[in-house]
Chain A
Amino acid sequence: MKTKAKKISGWILTVFMLIMSLFFLFPVVWMLANSFKGDALITADMNSAAAFIPPALNGSFFDNYITIIKDTSFLRYMVNTLFYAAILIVLGIVVNGLAGYALAKIKFPFADKWLLIIMMLMIIPSETIITINFLTIAKLGLLNNIIGYVLPMIVNPFNIFLFRQVFVSLPDDVYEAAQLDYCSPIKYFFTMVLPMSKTVVATVSVFTFLGVWNDYLWPSLVFTSSDLLTAQIGLNSITSNDNTTMGQTLAVITMITIPVIIIYSLFSKQIVEGVVSTGSKEG
């Protein structure tokens, strides 16, 4: 039984969060509503509540989107980025996951020191090493090459640490049982460890996706060929083009936001759980 005081404070909290979420929703709604309008209408609606209301559903409703899709390569850039994200999710889970597993469960000399080094790497901002990465990739002749783009992005100290924290709490006897069931160590990792750690796998996948999706600097350095560009670069070149209307700008921003919103709404539970579990489980 909840007490009355608890009920009331629950209500207050709900109302407060509702107001807060409205603050955050306003710009999104505004963006969405105006992305269906021509520039004249946007300006006309600007100072009234109509700014938050989409126009009537008529023949020109999707014009901004159609223009973006037809006249620019933005859709292609989005597909490119999804593809890079997929590659990096898979490789990132395998490489960082195996590293995290080794740090969590395998006895080897200086294991604790290695962990410390990897944790120290977490505090180095990626911008500080981007030049050296660029020079390395350039020397290897991998500019304008997916491999050159992907290679320096695979290893992620934070994800290694995340995996390690979760794997540490996996019971050892399951591994022993699996050994007696003729399961090899590698097979154990892929068919037991990862499925038993779905939450952290989801968390790392989401973080990786968001990282790739939102990254501007690295792809803009590696890629110059328009076949390979990513959505953020596309967004930048479209919005900085003088011929782009405001409505089209909002349409392209909407397009680039949609996957992020989908991911967050699908995986919000895992994201929170993943972050919480890595903090609270003892390591």
Chain B
Amino acid sequence: MSFIEMKNICKKYAGAEKNSVTDFNLNVEEKEFIAFVGPSGCGKSTTLRMIAGFEDITSGELKIGGKVMNETAPRDRGIAMVFQNYALYPHMTVEKNISYGLKNMKVPADEIKKKVDWAVKILGLEEYRKRKPKNLSGGQRQRVALGRAIVKNQKVFLMDEPLSNLDAKLRVSMRNEISKLHRELGSTTIYVTHDQVEAMTMADRIVIMKDGIVQQVGKPMELYERPVNKFVAGFIGSPQMNFYDVTVKGNTVMFADGSKINLPENIITRLNGKKDGLILGIRGEDIKLDSQNLDLYKDSIQHSVVENTEVMGNENNLYFTFGGVNTVARVSKYEISQVGDGIDFVFSPARIHFFDKETEESIF
């Protein structure tokens, strides 16, 4: 038995034509950190809010700790939540915000004080205890929201895009703080984000959604290495995976612009004889420009001209046209080229993905 069990959960908003969430199935183990990720409007918040109890579950079953929770009031579900816009009580000080729930739970005053002391300490809010939210920065407000959640000792943390209002740098540091907090407290966490980087870096397992339907559930590297369809392959990873319409003839893959690459027999056989209606996918870092790889696959060397570059030192992206589409290759600092330079490259054969063009399902 898992700690949180969701069976065929559907949500149809009153007046809506179709489901916002369809047949959501997930088992979450105790202490797990789960991320719901997907583009805006895919139903992440709706699902989270059904778990919290702020939205009715249209059909399906939600169990927390073995108990069916469909009809249970939010406060009795043993959850704490961090909201996207913090949802702090504007007229209360930091301290009061954090202790408000404990006070309502009739926790003795000395214990409340201990808890608040602990929370402001680990969140670095000691100096701000007496301040009101309006006199805090975005990052500090987010910490107060976290503080309010952690003092209550709830088993489950729900977070809905908690970092999306922060600037990029703060987001990275808060990401680490939330991960650290999760390791220290060990509360089961469900974290909603539209940012695949957040999901990849923080989660034990990722649930990736599209149009209200779960596409794939898995560990970050599973999703990265073995996406079940083109959507997952394209959503996870940055820069995005390159996709090409291709046909296969013998051991040769033919691109729309007439380019050809040869693949080893053992890879071609995995296509099970499928010859057209194929999409080839390859990640930027699996397009190789170094001499060793060029040497290794010299019968499939391709040429193009760099059209744009993104040089960041550790991450360097070269943009060019290949196979009739825009392509990005991620290269080491030794292979940085200038715009207008001609480049030679090969696809690392073992790293190539194939998708069925019609269903967009992954073949491998």
Q: 8 Å CB contacts to A: which residues of B224-278?
A: none
Is the CB–CB distance between A176 and B83 below 8 Å? yes
Main secondary structure of the interface of A (DSSP, over half): helix
Chain B, Cβ-Cβ closest to A194: B91
Assembled-state Cα–Cα distance A8/B167 (Å): 43
Assembled-state Cα–Cα distance A174/B141 (Å): 14
Assembled-state Cα–Cα distance A174/B91 (Å): 12
Is the CB–CB distance between A176 and B100 below 8 Å? no
Chain B, Cβ-Cβ closest to A187: B104
Is residue B65 contacting chain A, with contact meaning CB distance below 8 A?
no
Best-surrounded residue of A171, A176, A180, A182 (most CB of chain B within 10 A): A180
Is the CB–CB distance between A192 and B75 below 8 Å? no
Is the CB–CB distance between A176 and B104 below 8 Å? no
Is the CB–CB distance between A173 and B83 below 8 Å? yes
Question: Could you say which of A171, A176, A181, A192 contacts B148, with CB atoms under 8 Å apart?
Answer: A181
Is the CB–CB distance between A177 and B90 below 8 Å? no
Q: C-beta contact mask, A124-144 vs B, less than 8 Å → 1, else 0?
A: 000000000000000000000
Question: Could you say which of A173, A181, A196, A198 contacts B100, with CB atoms under 8 Å apart?
Answer: A181
Is residue A179 contacting chain B, with contact meaning CB distance below 8 A?
yes
In the complex, what residues of A have CB within 8 A of residue B148's CB?
177, 181
Q: How far is the CB of A68 from chain B (nearest CB, A)?
A: 43
Chain A, Cβ-Cβ closest to B84: A173
Is the CB–CB distance between A181 and B104 below 8 Å? yes
Is residue B138 contacting chain A, with contact meaning CB distance below 8 A?
no
Q: C-beta contact mask, B191-203 vs A, less than 8 Å → 1, else 0?
A: 0000000000000
Q: C-beta contact mask, B68-88 vs A, less than 8 Å → 1, else 0?
A: 000001110001110111011
Is residue A10 contacting chain B, with contact meaning CB distance below 8 A?
no
Main secondary structure of the interface of B (DSSP, over half): loop
In the complex, what residues of B have CB within 8 A of residue A183's CB?
100, 104
Is the CB–CB distance between B105 and A182 below 8 Å? yes
Is the CB–CB distance between A176 and B90 below 8 Å? no
Q: C-beta contact mask, A163-188 vs B, less than 8 Å → 1, else 0?
A: 00000000101101111111100000
In the complex, what residues of B have CB within 8 A of residue A182's CB?
75, 101, 104-105
A-B contact count (CB 8 A): 53
By the criterion of a CB under 8 Å from any partner CB, how many residues of chain B are at the interface?
22
Question: Could you say which of A171, A176, A195, A196 contacts B81, with CB atoms under 8 Å apart?
Answer: A176
Q: 8 Å CB contacts to A: which residues of B333-351?
A: none
Chain A, Cβ-Cβ closest to B82: A177
Is residue B118 contacting chain A, with contact meaning CB distance below 8 A?
no
Question: Could you say which of B73, B87, B91 contacts A177, with CB atoms under 8 Å apart?
Answer: B87
Is the CB–CB distance between A171 and B87 below 8 Å? yes
Q: How far is the CB of A180 from chain B (nearest CB, A)?
A: 6
In the complex, what residues of B have CB within 8 A of residue A177's CB?
81, 83, 87-89, 148
Question: Could you say which of B75, B84, B88, B91 contacts A180, with CB atoms under 8 Å apart?
Answer: B75
Chain A, Cβ-Cβ closest to B85: A173
Chain B, Cβ-Cβ closest to A177: B87
Q: How far is the CB of B302 from chain A (nearest CB, A)?
A: 52
Chain A, Cβ-Cβ closest to B102: A181
In the complex, what residues of A have CB within 8 A of residue B79's CB?
180
15 CB contacts below 8 A, A to B, read A171-B87, A176-B81, A177-B88, A177-B89, A178-B89, A179-B73, A179-B75, A180-B80, A180-B101, A181-B100, A183-B104, A192-B91, A195-B91, A196-B90, A196-B91
New contact pairs (14) apart from A178-B100, A183-B104, A196-B90, CB-CB < 8 Å? A173-B85, A176-B54, A176-B83, A177-B83, A178-B89, A179-B75, A180-B79, A180-B81, A181-B152, A182-B101, A182-B104, A182-B105, A192-B91, A195-B91
